[in-house]
Amino acid sequence: MMTSRTLIIMVLIGLVGVVVYESTGLAQNYYDSTPRLKTKNAEVVVATAKTPPVNDGLPMPGFEITPGVTALMVTDPQNDFLTPEGVAWGVVSKSVTENGTVENLEALFKAADETGLPIFISPHYYYPYDHRWKFQGTLEVLMHNMAMFDRASQLDLTDFEGSGSDWLERYKPYINNGKTVVTSPHKVYGPESNDLVLQMRKAGIDKVILAGMSANLCVESHMRELIEQGFEVMIVTDATAAAITEHYNGYDAALVNFRMIASAINNTENTVKAIRAAYKK
């Protein structure tokens, strides 16, 4: 049972967090459908895909977008995840649709492109020799069985255009523009196996706005590794999504860890406003 002393401490932490969080330009955005818990002294807003938390009993370190050292980093903005023709659509479509992930990623790309905020892409590709791995985890088996993100080889783009491994057509102006950094592919979920950290260090980046697919796999794994590597990370919670099956909800699992690990979580609308405010555009 919660004591009055514990409740007061939680409220004070939450109120301090709100002040810090709002000072970054990533202030809370309220919706009529926001889940709210009434306490005696404060209103608690529980984080959802579209709603950042308020007074939820956890600290709010906040995240300030600093031009020159902040970048947008997107994992797997590819057809297999984000289009009805993609092989993963059957399990991710509910989450992608409810979150507005496709549109929200485009809004982030557009804001970054128009302001000059650097963009990094960490893609997922599998080549024929990857299918000869001697052991795999659960969803690695699923991805390989579905031929997800398959390509002919590292140096062969045969049948790549419009394939499941390709970018969504609507994202191509922001990715294939000669400015966006596309790293070598990650092979399981995190960036340990690619050159993302090297590319961002070489570009002077130490703060990351993170979005993409999928929430509890590649996004969460990138978040964890980047934080371990000394980057400051915030998550755009409705610019990602995850598989939902009969027994498991990957998005809900990720949201808890986003809240507990990242410096900040917020929705696309507020993040776009903060990007434009930081660059005054």
Residue 54 within any structural domain of the chain: no
Please check whether residues 274 and 223 belong to one and the same domain: yes
Is there a domain that residue 53 lies in?
Answer: no
For residue 75 the two structure tokens come to: 């994992």
Residues 127 and 165 in one domain: yes
What value does the mean pLDDT of the chain take? Answer: 88
Q: Are residues 108 and 208 in the same domain?
A: yes
Cβ–Cβ < 8 Å for 210, 233: yes
Considering only the C-alpha atoms of the chain, give the largest distance between any 2 of them, rounded to a whole number of Å.
65
Number of C-beta neighbours around residue 245 at 10 A: 9
Q: Is residue 218 a part of any domain in this protein?
A: yes
The answer to whether residues 21 and 99 belong to one domain is no
E-only strand ranges, the chain? 36-38, 43-45, 70-75, 119-122, 181-182, 207-213, 232-241, 264-266
Give this prediction's pTM: 0.85
CA distance 30 to 49: 12
Residue 59 lies in a domain: no
Whether 51 is covered by a domain: the verdict is: no
pLDDT digit string, tens, across residues 189-199: 999 999 999 99
Specify whether 39 is located in the same domain as 147: no
Residues 20 and 121 in one domain: no
* Together in a domain, 86 and 23: no
The residue segments making up the domain with residue 207 are 70-279
Question: Structural domain tally of the chain?
Answer: 2
Helix, strand, coil percentages in the chain from 3-state DSSP, rounded to 5: 40, 15, 40
Q: Are residues 95 and 181 in the same domain?
A: yes
The pLDDT of residue 3: 53
* DSSP 8-state class, residue 216: I
Which tens digits make up the pLDDT trace of 178-233? 999 999 999 999 999 999 999 999 999 999 999 999 999 999 999 999 999 999 99
Looking at the chain, the whole-number percentage of residues with pLDDT higher than 70 is: 85
Instruction: Assess whether 115 and 38 both reside in one domain.
Output: no
Cα 21 to Cα 64: distance, rounded to the nearest angstrom: 9
Same domain, 41 and 115: no
Nearest C-alpha neighbor of 124 from the set 102, 103, 149, 92: 149
- The CATH number for 249's domain is 3.40.50.850
| pLDDT for the residue 146 | 79
Q: Say what the pLDDT of residue 40 is.
A: 52
Asked if residue 222 is part of any domain, the answer here is yes
Are 65 and 202 in contact, with CB atoms under 8 Å apart?
A: no
Residue 63 within any structural domain of the chain: no
Is 50 among the domain residues? no
| 26 & 141 share domain | no
Whether residues 267 and 206 fall in one domain: yes
Confidence check: pLDDT of 8 > 60: no
Question: Tens digit of pLDDT for each residue in 40-58?
Answer: 557 899 999 999 999 999 9
Instruction: Lay out the sheet containing 207-213: strands in order across.
Output: 181-182, 119-122, 70-75, 207-213, 232-241, 264-266
56-114 confidence digits (pLDDT tens): 999 999 999 999 999 999 999 999 999 999 999 999 999 999 999 999 999 999 999 99
